[in-house]
Structures are given as structure tokens and as C-alpha cells.
Structure 1
Amino acid sequence: MTLTAPTRRTLLTAGALLAVPHPLLAATPSSRRLTFQVFRNGERIGEHRLSFSGDSASPTVSTEVDMTVRLGSVPVYRYRHTAREVWVDGRFESLETVTDATAGDRKVSARRTPSGVLIRTGRKEVLAPVGTSPLTHWNPNVLTGRLFNPQEGTLARITASPKGFRPITLADGRQVEGQVWALRGEAEIDNWYDRAGVWTGLKGRLEDGSRIEYRRV
């Protein structure tokens, strides 16, 4: 069969589209920083901060989380978490996390290998499937793929689905519209992302039944 010129152009265009990998990275904020005030049952308990360095295709993302739950003036639970997440050419490359909490301390490392993502904790190693990404919330483009818990070093047993645009309250009291992604399974979390894909807020339910909310500064 002889192809006409329009048919050739159509096939070439389709081939070019197939050659482009699905983008794994969301947009990073123009300020190169994200800061959230964290609330539990309406009471502020700390902050979650992210900073982005490097270019947009190969960023390094540093995370610091600092939370304290009090009963009156007495601290009853402390949580400190740091992470360094590296992406190269749009693909997850490595992660190092340290968690210091009342419930126990943990260290997790993960790196991409030709065979999959090798995840190490102080007790074991897990080889996750190729393409597995950390559930660090800022990147909605990975939510429908395989995910692992960056604090526990375990594969996440969740499903993620988009729920349309809804309002979310910022730290200064303003409301903005954001695309909601609902995470369900071992977690009950709704994440908000603005129209550029930048993480804008979070609401969820913790294991003890309390409600958690992130308000972007």
C-alpha cells in the first residue's frame, strides 16, 4: 500500500508522541520553596517545609517536618522528619530519610537500579518494581503509579483518583481552587494541587481518628 502525504505526516506525528515519555515530575513552585502550617483537629502542631534545587527536570527536594502534639501544655507526641529526594531527567533516582518520633526512630534509603527501586531500612531490603516512586505528596504525576512510604520503607497499599477542583483554605485564610487527588487504602488523604500542579494543601484522617490539615503559607 502506498501512503499519501497526509497519512505519512499522521504516522510521523503519532510516532513522535509515542517516543515522548510520560512526565513524572510536577511543576515546582516559582519560589523554589513550599511551607505548610500543620493542624490536628484544628490546633496548629507544626510545619512541613520543602525546598527545591537544581533544574526542573532534575530537582533535588529537601523536606523538613517538625510537629508536636500537646495535652494542655505538656508535649505527648513529637515528630521530626527530614528527607533528601533526587530526580534525574524526570525519573526518581534516590531518597534518604531520617525520622525521629516518640513512637521510634527510623532511617530509610532508596535508589533506582536497573532491576527496580532498592529500598533499605535498618531491618530489611525490598526491591520494588521499576518505576516505583516515593509518596512525598508534592508530585501528583506519580500518584497513579507504584508508590512507597518514605518513612517506613514499605510499598504503599493505596489507590489514587482525581476528584475535580474544590476550594482549599490557605494559611492566611484565603481560599483557592485546587485539583483534588483522593488517596484511599492504608491512608485516607486528600491532596490539593493548583492549576500548575503545585502542591497546595492536604486534609486527612490519622490512625487514631484525628483530622490533619495542611495550610500552605
Structure 2
Amino acid sequence: MVTLFSVPLYSYRHTSVERWRGDTLVGLDSQTRKNGKEKRLQGVRDGDGPLVLENHKGERRTFPESPLTTTLWHPRTPQAPQLLEVEDGWMKTNTTQDIGREAVRIGDTRQTARHYRLAGEVQRDVWYDDRGLLLRVAFQHDDGSRIVMQPAADFT
């Protein structure tokens, strides 16, 4: 939450649980509260059938193929032409630029990671280590501030 003189200016809380079987998304449950507005997205894949998602408005979407999501954790995310937005269930376009290998500081250590810049409707910078673990995410917020998310310490 961002406040000015104890007055909330912006609040955001998001939780998302994805269930995967190998490389197939078989379930999703996400809840978002953004500036007092609630969103929810739930869905499940029945056996080999399509993934069916329903959002807080009761809108349903069906995905025969397994989409990668905007949680960005999957190492194939940069190669996906579209990503499933886990707040509302819409597919977002994605184009990717491979920036190259860089050293990323995680706690007291430096790790080499591959830096990608996602563009299109999903605008994020992401860094993955050689095993495909997501090490860092950075993006520009609507208010112009730059947000960087990464572990505070080495988790490997």
C-alpha cells in the first residue's frame, strides 16, 4: 500500500496458485484486490480436456492448449507469443528481446542470468539462471516508478 499523510493512494494484493502436470496447466486460482476492487479467476482442466477459466464477472474462457502465465516463473515464458493474464484470464500479446547474459546480485552472491525484455501487452524485464529459475523481474509502474522483485538471499 502506498500512502501520503496516512491516506492510502494505492493498494494492491495478489495471490495466485497454479497447478501443473508436467508442462500442462491443470488448475488456477487467483485473487486480486487493487484499490479496493476485487478480481478472482478460477479454473481447472478436466483430464485431457480443455482448461476452463471463470473470472469474477462470470465470464468463461476455454483453452485447449496449455498457456503460460504472467506469473513469469516458467523458463519458456520469453518464447511464448501470448501469456495468460492471471488477474482477469485474458491472453496478452508478448514479444521478446534477448538482452544477453548478465550478473545478478542475489543477497551476497552474484549469479549469471539470461536477461529478456518482454514487450507487447506484457512489459517486463526478466532474468533466468542456467537452470531456468526466475531470479528477477523489473517493470515500470503506471505512476512511472520502477519496481524490481527478486529474492533477498540466495535460495538455491
TM-score range, shorter chain: 0.7 to 0.9
**Which residue of 113, 133, 137 maps to 2:68?**
133
2:38 maps to 1:105:
yes
Q: 2:54 maps to which residue? A: 120
Q: Rg: which structure is higher?
A: 1
Q: What do you get for the CA RMSD once the two structures are aligned?
A: 2.2
Counterpart secondary structure, 2:79:
coil
Query: What amino acid is the match of 1:128?
Result: F
TM-score using structure 1 length: 0.60
What TM-score do you get using the length of structure 2 for normalisation?
A: 0.81
Amino acid at match of 2:146: R
Q: Does 1:148 align with 2:84?
A: yes
Q: Which has the higher contact order (CA 8 A, sep 6+)?
A: 1
CA gap of 1:144–1:75, structure 2 versus 1, over 3 A, is same
User: Which of 84, 101, 112 lines up with 1:165 in the alignment?
Assistant: 101
Amino acid aligned to 1:76: L
Conservation of the 8 A alpha-carbon contact between 1:140 and 1:197:
yes
Paired positions, count: 149
When residues 92 and 161 of structure 1 are mapped into structure 2, their CA distance, relative to the original with a 3 A threshold, is farther
CA distance in 2, matches of 1:93, 1:161: 29
Change (3 A) 1:141 1:187: closer
Larger helix share, 1 or 2: 1
> 1:182 and 1:188 mapped to 2: Cα distance?
7
Question: How far apart, in 2, do the equivalents of 1:115 and 1:143 lie?
Answer: 26
Alignment match, 2:17: 84
Q: Per-residue deviation at 1:178?
A: 1.1
Q: Percent of pairs identical after alignment?
A: 24
Q: Deviations over 1:120-173 (max 9, x none)?
A: 102211223512222211112243234210012111122234322113333x36
**Cα displacement (A) at 1:119:** 2.1
Task: Give the SS at the match of 1:132.
Answer: coil
Q: Specify the alignment match of 1:216 in structure 2.
A: 151
The secondary structure found in structure 2 opposite 1:143 is helix
The gaps in structure 2 that reach 5 residues or longer are: none
Q: Is the 8 A contact 1:188 1:206 kept in 2?
A: no
The residue identity in structure 1 corresponding to 2:32 is T
Structure 1: stretches of 5+ with no match in the other structure: 1-67
Per-residue CA distance 1:62-89 (angstroms, 9 max, x = gap): xxxxxx2233554321211111110113
